[in-house]
Amino acid sequence: MIEVRDLWKGFGPQPVLRGTCLRIEKGEAVVIIGRSGGGKSVLLKHLIALLQPDRGQVLVEGQDLCCLDERQLLQVRRKFGMLFQMAALFDSLTVYENVSFVLQRERRHTEAQMRKLVAEALEMVELRGIEGKKPGELSGGMRKRVGLARAIIYRPEILLYDEPTTGLDPVAGARIDQLIHRVWEQLHVTSIAVTHDMASARRISKRILMLNEGVIYADGPSADILSSTDPVVHNFVNGIVPADSQSFA
Amino acid sequence: MVVPILQQRVRYLFSELGELAHIAGEAIRSLRHQRPSWRDFVEQLHFIGVKSQSVVITTGAATGMVLCAQTYFQFHKVKMDTATGAVVSVGMCSELGPVLACLMIAGRVGAAMAAELGTMKVTEQIDALRTLATHPVDYLVVPRLLAATVAAPLLTAEAVAVGIFASWMVGAHLLGIDSAYYVANMNRYTAPADVVTGLIKATLFGAAIAVISCYKGLSCQQGAEGVGKATTEAVVYSSITVLVANFFLTLFLTRLFKG
Ligand SMILES: Nc1ncnc2c1ncn2[C@@H]1O[C@H](COP(=O)(O)OP(=O)(O)OP(=O)(O)O)[C@@H](O)[C@H]1O
Ligand SMILES: [Mg+2]
């Protein structure tokens, strides 16, 4: 269970989150939508305590993350897997070393077991036989899928995906959506994704939260949000530019 | 006008020192609680130690040779030619060896550490590390700190040895000082304390360079510009630390060893 209470965060003079509140139950599949630059990535990073709030609380299973120091946070973070918007692979390590990173650090598996687990994880994201490559030799979409393999291999309980399908072709995108759905269904994880892609949101979520002006503006079952008649939600979901504001504000 | 700026500077200096102490403390905490990765340590040791050979040898030899020549020219006037070796050896062991070798290490290794960690920071790799339940200090700082602490005194010892040998070549073969007296005086006036002083200094300098450079990398600002700035600052601060700390260490260690 994840709960965010009155979360405020700004960078310099610019406020990004302005009193965001949300609650996600264990085992839910949630998508967060919102405008580019609206603070979705920032919100996601607060859930795993990569950023510290200016004000407010983030609770993971009742534990307030703001009271923990970096070492205590490591224990909490072990429950999480995160796919970064830019994949954030370790570029001095090979794909194999990237994907097996947590396993290598935990030293609970033999080399042979790790090879097998990595091969399976790469198989899941439809990348075979690229273990020896460096991230620099991969395309953007491939990197993202390696990032996904790295996040799911150690079986976290909560998965955070920051735009898992942007930069992929439609077919690969749909496959990743299927994978996210399958991971949610079979491994009983809590799945929290950020996306701009409404088709993808429909496929991977049961519930959609819309972040607007730094607060959760709309929250409800996916179907309701996607067919909402609220002008802000409707315009966003259908990509309509309101007649009175043609510029990005 | 001047006072607020000065205040701001002083506050900045102290906050930087606080952060440095924090990283160093975290590294010590990490060492107490878990075994660092042997492989990462060896990799860093290779990078810092083996790949600095040419730089360190050149520095040692050049310093030894020029120190010998200059000392000889002055001492020759008062007919103390054979004392040249003693001056070179004491100077190299306790001051010039550690300072110059560590300045070269700060330039070569400090810059590389700050640039590597800084790039990792701006490409979110440090954040990724944290999400993978790994403390950046455990994984990145500790192996570098250990490797630098081990490598710096070894490289210094090498620079000193090369420097003394080069000075003997210049003194005995080029300037015509009597080789036997040169060596005898050198041995007579160089105390074990001089050698130990140099090695202690180098060890501390190595640790300081690693902590400063890693801190600068980890606190790097956004973008290519941030990495550039972090790299420059790592080298500048490490070098200044070596020079300033050297003075105080000289006072302190001399007191300690010579009463
Ligand atoms: N580290 C940072 N320093 C300063 N400003 C930041 C930082 N991270 C994010 N911001 C600012 O916060 C705002 C929200 O950024 P964020 O990355 O969360 O947007 P987003 O909703 O994920 O957008 P996108 O959909 O394009 O990824 C942006 O205006 C950005 O300028
Ligand atoms: Mg984003």
Rounded to the nearest integer, the mean pLDDT of chain A is: 91
Q: How far is A125 from chain B (nearest CA, A)?
A: 19
Domain assignment of residue B101, given as a range: 36-258
Q: Count of domains in chain B? A: 1
A77–B130 C-beta distance less than 8 A: yes
pLDDT tier for residue A196 given thresholds of 50, 70 and 90: confident
Classify the C-alpha dihedral B250-B253-B254-B255 as positive or negative: positive
Neighbour tally for A137: CB within 10 Å: 12
Ligand 1 atom 3, closest CA: A11
- For A88, which of B123, B135, B139 is closest by C-beta distance? B123
Q: What average pLDDT score do residues A122-144 get?
A: 91
User: Could you give the angle at which helices B97-105 and B223-258 cross, rounded to 10 degrees?
Assistant: 160
The residue whose C-alpha atom lies closest to atom 24 belonging to ligand 1 is A36
Classify strands A55-60 and A2-11 as parallel, antiparallel or unpaired: antiparallel
Lowest mean pLDDT among A183-187, B181-185, B241-245: A183-187
Q: Is a pLDDT exceeding 70 seen at residue B123?
A: yes
Contact B20, B211 (CB under 8 A): yes
Sheet with A2-11, strands from edge to edge, namely A14-24, A2-11, A55-60, A63-64
The answer to whether residues A35 and A236 touch, using CB atoms and an 8 Å cutoff, is yes
Q: Give alpha helix (H) positions in chain B.
A: 2-33, 38-48, 53-77, 84-91, 97-105, 111-122, 125-131, 136, 142-168, 179-189, 192-218, 223-258
Identify residue A7 by its one-letter amino acid code: L
C-alpha distances in Å from residue B151, one per residue of A50, A96, A107, B102, B113: 34, 30, 28, 10, 15
* Nearest one of B8, B60, B13, B241 to B165, comparing CA atoms: B60
**pLDDT given at position A249:** 47
pTM, whole model, 2 decimals?
A: 0.91
A246 pocket-lining for ligand 1 (C-beta < 6 Å): no
Q: How many CB pairs under 8 A join A and B?
A: 54
Ligand 1 contact, A37 CB (< 6 A): yes
Task: Answer for the pair A88, B127: CB distance below 8 angstroms, yes or no.
Answer: yes
Give the pLDDT mean for B75-96. 93
Query: Which pLDDT score, from 0 to 100, does residue A245 have?
Result: 59
DSSP structural state of residue B221:
P
Q: Are strands A80-83 and A2-11 parallel, antiparallel or unpaired?
A: unpaired
Digit-coded pLDDT (tens) for A72-122: 999 999 999 999 999 999 999 999 999 999 999 988 999 999 999 999 999
Tokens, residue B110 = 């400090």
- Classify residue B20: in a domain, yes or no: no
Cβ within 8 Å of residue B221, ≥6 positions away = B229, B230
Ligand 1 contact, A36 CB (< 6 A): yes
Set of chain B residues whose Cβ sits within 8 Å of the Cβ of A75? 133
Q: Are B134 and A150 inside 8 Å of each other by CB? A: no
Cα distance between the two ends of chain B: 47
DSSP class of residue B191? -
Assign domain A1-42+49-77+214-241 to its CATH superfamily: P-loop containing nucleotide triphosphate hydrolases (3.40.50.300)
Chain B 114-133, residues with CB within 8 Å of chain A CB atoms: 116, 120, 123-125, 127-133
Provide the 3-class DSSP secondary structure of residue B69.
helix
Distance A156 CA to ligand 2 centre (A): 22
Candidates B3, B132, B214; CA nearest to A81 is B132
Q: Which residue has the higher pLDDT, B33 or A244?
A: B33
Residues of B in contact with A48 (CB under 8 A): 131
pLDDT confidence band for B71 (50 / 70 / 90): very high
Q: A213 with A22: CB under 8 angstroms?
A: no
For residue B259, the model assigns a pLDDT of 67
Task: State which of A8, A42, A196 you would mutate to test the pocket of ligand 1, scoring each by most atoms of that ligand within 8 A of its C-beta.
Answer: A42
pLDDT, residue A167, reads: 80
Closest CA to A162 of A223, A81, A56: A81
> What are A200-233's pLDDT values in tens digits?
999 999 999 999 999 999 999 999 999 999 999 9
Has residue B5 been placed in a domain? no
- The answer to whether residue B43 scores a pLDDT higher than 90 is yes
